[in-house]
Structure 1
Amino acid sequence: MIPYFDDNRQQLIARRSKIFILILALFTTSGIFAQEAQNIADLDFLYHQIQKLPSYKDQFKGKKSYHNLYENIRKDLKTTDEIKIYQKLLQLIQPINDNHLGFWRKSDSTAKFSPLRMLIDTMEVKTKNSSSYSNSIEGIYVNTDGSKHLLFQFEPNVYYLQSFKIGIIEAILNRTANESYDAILFVGSPVPYVLNRNFKIQNGKFGNLSFYKVGYRPVPPLEIGYNKFEYTKIKSEIGYLRLSNFSASNDNFNVAKAFYDSIRTKITTQYLIVDLRNNSGGGYRTSKQFLTLLKKYHGKIFLIQNNNTVSNAEQFIIDIRSKKRLVTLGETTRGTITYGSNYGKTVSLPSGRFIFYPTDMRGRIKDLAHESLGLRPDIVLDQFGHNWIEQTLNYLNKAY
């Protein structure tokens, strides 16, 4: 009787195990379907939001290629990996030449994010960095705090920026068609990661972050004053005008208007250096008065620009280019020029995980031609020489 009892017990255990496995499979399958449904809901929502954009209507309305892209992404959204879902959703944004668009992980104190980590073969890095590797964007970058970071190609057109010390991946760069990158920056609390569009690596500098490639030096800082707006005479015949931003906020507009009123009759020098470095843009509410002032100015203008000259500051340069007595100097601007947002509204995707920042401004054709590419200067200044104002003065003295 005992063997018979043992057989029944074993059969019972086997049946219960099968039932448990079946129930677990059902729950797992149900969870996968639920996750997929959530991911599809986010994709569908983002797709319909994008179709409202002026930039979408200019570039993709009526074209099957974009709808086909959406359908292909929709076929494979079963993953539970949040970063992978974020990257798949980014594929809808990447084709649109509109660098004011934003997309980031919603702030969530309860969410847990495990940073990506990879081992670094230090000998391989040193070997590559001493050869042709050193002439590419790949290599070792140093932060201003002295920490070292490695930028390497992970797969075709995808690069990782990794902490040399702890192995954490701090950015994922996806190459675009315009020799720039759509960068996912892992920035930590309160927003774990964010999209940085039209990210460029230029003259050894890593975008608008404080990283420089080994062998390069930081570009010279601004040399005159710390005020948002400033005018001074460098010499009796040379004036210097610093315009740091064109924000249309009431506070900034009031400061800009008071400054404009104080200098509008004082700029009478034969030459004028206009410094737009690091001007993050804004709106014509603030910039138009200075644009009008410079168009009426009868002297020669030398305008300094850099890769952090952005948005309405780039439009400012385009609008003043019609003035024949103008020379631009420095480096190519960012190329984040057109569209923009009137109201700064954001929308949350259905899952509550991601935030989309849409644009609603119509783009000007003359601006769109430079979107992502930027505006090249007439005269390229030495990134690693003496300060740019002195270089501008040297050019002025030799040419005029």
Structure 2
Amino acid sequence: MKTALKIKISLYFLGLILLSTCSLMAQQATCACKQDLNFLVKKIKKSSAYKNDFRGAKEVFDQKLSPIASKATSQMPLFDCYLVLVETMQLINDRHSIVYGNAKFDAEMLKDEDKLAAFKETALFKMYPNFSGDLERLQNNLSKKAVEEIEGVYHAGRSLEVGVVKDNLSEDYTMIVLRSQLPLWKEGEQLGILKLNGQNRALAVIGSYATKTPVPITTGFKNGEFMSLNLKKDTAQISYWRSAFADNTYHFEQLSPEVSYIKAGDFSGFYPVLGEAEKFYEELKGKAIADNLIVDLRNNGGGGDRNSDILFEILENQKNDMQLFVLVNQNTGSNAEQFAIRLKKAKAATILGDRTKGAIAYELKGDISILPSNFFKVYLSSKRHREYLSYEGVGVKPDLYLDYSKDWLKQTQNLIQERMK
């Protein structure tokens, strides 16, 4: 007999399904997509990015929307609907604004067997299509692909193995789970799709590894690795593009008498991260900084001026002849991108690494709306930084691109040594 707790949990998840316009038909999750799309378009047209991109050219937006909107039907598979919504969001050049799953499940709930069992009966869990072909043959074929090819077998640590294969009906790539030790994913499920957008980058429309929540993620691709997805073909390959001193968000190191190093891994303006930053910056004021300083912003996804302004003031007050070198990668985003530009202007900093994320010109202020189906959310930015608009969707180009097959910190030190001769 079910316990009161089990009944309560079951009713909770059942309520999520009944309150939504989504349904589970023959194990296929479907949704009233037209209704969601119309709602999303109305929200987009009120956004800062829309007003910037299509001011005086509203008909251009409608023309671009038309072929996308034609895919939406009154009742269509949830994953297909989500692709339509994401494609619509891509019409505005704003990397902060996002449409994603209205998840009622988090990683902590995995520890509760009853909640996990109830979640597996929801539309969210069942929205991802299944591969209908021979999984073993697919894996064998993909394992023969060269490291520089998009197609192939990728690994997310030891828990997940994903096959990336070209879709013959489009220019996209399908991501299929080949092996999984994760509780929410099983072999043969479609993890998501990849849409290439040039410059060795792609838009991944996938389910979260931990919660299965659908999210869009812009990721770079280099040497058989999708950087923002933690997917790589060769697990033994060293990811030199990642920031150094992995165990520390903030770090100071005297690399040599001539070279100092600062890692700023997060510019969050909220505690406890802000508290950790404030403590580090206060300690930094007492450090003797060498004539050459490396500031590592790799994988710093941003935050706010409340954090970064403190570090900027410290660096701005350093001696004028100090040579500043800023390390960035494709995961350097938002306020961290702004910070790199500010250092270049104020201190003639040399930027090294790879082009940054390009999510730089807008701010999120909490405008979250649930779409009519109750299955998706849209999060739209509400503040625009005009001085950074030319970098939005493009990123900050480094003064020197670094080699992905060699240690980036050592490459920077070698450059400093060359300049000192």
TM-score by length of 1: 0.80
| Counterpart AA for 2:195 | N
| Aligned mates of 1:251, 1:319 — CA distance in 2 | 25
Deviation, structure 1 residue 378: 2.4
Deviation, structure 1 residue 394: 2.2
Secondary structure in 1 matching 2:228: coil
1:352 corresponding residue in structure 2 = 374
Secondary structure in 1 matching 2:267: coil
Secondary structure in 2 matching 1:52: coil
Q: Are residue 45 (structure 1) and residue 61 (structure 2) matched?
A: no
Deviation, structure 1 residue 379: 2.8
Secondary structure in 2 matching 1:262: helix
Structure 1 residues 352, 146: closer, same or farther in 2, change over 3 A? Answer: closer
Q: Are residue 59 (structure 1) and residue 53 (structure 2) matched?
A: yes
Correspondence for 2:129 among 116, 123, 134: 116
1:111-136 Cα offsets, whole Å, 9 max, x none, are 231532222576677567657x6543
1:92 corresponding residue in structure 2 = 88
1:333 corresponding residue in structure 2 = 356
Secondary structure in 1 matching 2:293: strand
Correspondence for 2:216 among 195, 198, 205: 195
The alignment's C-alpha RMSD in Å is 3.0
Q: Are residue 136 (structure 1) and residue 158 (structure 2) matched?
A: no
Structure 1 residues 59, 325: closer, same or farther in 2, change over 3 A? Answer: closer
Deviates more, 1:169-178 or 1:155-164: 169-178
| Counterpart AA for 2:272 | D
Confirm or deny: 8 A CA contact 1:53 1:359 kept in the other structure: yes
Unaligned runs of 5+ residues in structure 1 are 1-30
| Aligned mates of 2:348, 2:63 — CA distance in 1 | 49
Secondary structure in 1 matching 2:272: helix
| Aligned mates of 1:172, 1:311 — CA distance in 2 | 25
| Aligned mates of 2:336, 2:267 — CA distance in 1 | 7
Confirm or deny: 8 A CA contact 1:161 1:170 kept in the other structure: yes
Secondary structure in 1 matching 2:413: helix
| Aligned mates of 2:272, 2:223 — CA distance in 1 | 35
Q: Aligned pairs, how many?
A: 362
Unaligned runs of 5+ residues in structure 2 are 1-24, 105-118, 180-186
| Counterpart AA for 1:355 | K
Deviates more, 1:289-298 or 1:92-101: 289-298
Deviation, structure 1 residue 81: 1.4
| Aligned mates of 2:380, 2:312 — CA distance in 1 | 28
Deviates more, 1:172-181 or 1:299-308: 172-181
Correspondence for 1:262 among 280, 283, 287: 283
1:58-97 Cα offsets, whole Å, 9 max, x none, are 1023320212344555555133312222222223211211
Confirm or deny: 8 A CA contact 2:79 2:129 kept in the other structure: no
| Aligned mates of 2:338, 2:316 — CA distance in 1 | 14
Secondary structure in 2 matching 1:322: helix
Structure 1 residues 222, 363: closer, same or farther in 2, change over 3 A? Answer: closer
Structure 1 residues 114, 279: closer, same or farther in 2, change over 3 A? Answer: closer
Structure 1 residues 120, 378: closer, same or farther in 2, change over 3 A? Answer: farther
Query: 4+ runs of 1 displaced by more than 6 Å?
Result: none
| Aligned mates of 2:382, 2:402 — CA distance in 1 | 36
Structure (1 or 2) with the larger CA radius of gyration: 1
| Aligned mates of 1:200, 1:101 — CA distance in 2 | 19
Matches within 5 A, 1:1-400: 38-63=32-57, 64-75=59-70, 76-108=72-104, 109=119, 111-112=122-123, 113-118=126-131, 119-120=133-134, 130=144, 135-145=148-158, 147-154=160-167, 155-165=169-179, 166-176=187-197, 180-187=201-208, 190-196=211-217, 198-214=218-234, 217-220=237-240, 222-224=243-245, 226-298=247-319, 299-323=322-346, 325-341=348-364, 343-365=365-387, 367-385=388-406, 387-400=407-420
| Aligned mates of 1:178, 1:267 — CA distance in 2 | 40
Confirm or deny: 8 A CA contact 1:178 1:373 kept in the other structure: no
| Aligned mates of 1:162, 1:90 — CA distance in 2 | 20
2:4 corresponding residue in structure 1 = none
| Counterpart AA for 1:66 | F
Confirm or deny: 8 A CA contact 1:246 1:313 kept in the other structure: yes
Secondary structure in 1 matching 2:76: coil
Confirm or deny: 8 A CA contact 1:212 1:218 kept in the other structure: no
1:26 corresponding residue in structure 2 = none
1:315-335 Cα offsets, whole Å, 9 max, x none, are 111111124542222222222
Secondary structure in 2 matching 1:346: strand
